[in-house]
Amino acid sequence: MTDVNFVVEQLRSLTSSADDPDNIFFEVVKEIASFYCDVFNLRPIEVAIFLCNDEKTILSFAHPNHLVNAGMIPVSSSEAIVSQIFRTRRSYIDNNFSQQKHLSIFEMVPVPGGQNEPIWKMMGTLITLIDDNIGVIELSRRGTSMGEAGRDFTTEDLEFLKMTMIQLAPFIKRCMPTNFRGKLR
């Protein structure tokens, strides 16, 4: 499933339902994460979706599921790349990410059924609707070594991420819980 139009149709169908809004929200997030896993040959733990509270002061994990209840990141954080992306509205790409100063505490949270692996490469962009910044998506490559982490992200990959998030962001916003702060499950 690497065609964004297919995902858009799936999300349109999913969000038109009046069923349990929290469940629909997590299904939408899961579909978006699955799309990027397919496109970039990533594992679900390598797609992080962060959403902001209404006051635009805190970013919380909406994906991966094992980090949803792991904590929140202040938008003002100088060490968190996600905060920098959100504040500056600038996309990010780094194929030597492990060498950069960054907030690494969430890399230590146990991964279900596997061992923790450091993030070696990362790219991310703002999730936005015109002038309403609602969050950040970060794609990473993890592994026990740089060689195991896989291919570098390219500027074309980053452009694809930015352009497809423009199409997918409205579906997140449509079903996003009010004042999202994680911990829905």
| Tens-place pLDDT, residues 13-39 | 988 876 666 679 989 999 999 999 999
Parent domain of 149: 4-175
Does 143 map to a domain? yes
Does 180 map to a domain? no
Does 182 map to a domain? no
pLDDT in tens, 152-165: 999 999 999 999 99
Does 162 map to a domain? yes
In angstroms, the Cα distances linking 166 to 3, 31, 101, 144 are 14, 15, 29, 33
Q: What pTM was estimated for this model as a whole?
A: 0.89
In angstroms, the Cα distances linking 119 to 14, 89, 116 are 32, 22, 10
Does 51 map to a domain? yes
| Count of the separate structural domains present in the chain | 1
pLDDT at 185: 45
Does 65 map to a domain? yes
Check which CATH number belongs to the domain holding 104 and give it.
3.30.450.40
Does 67 map to a domain? yes
Res. 117: pLDDT tops 90? no
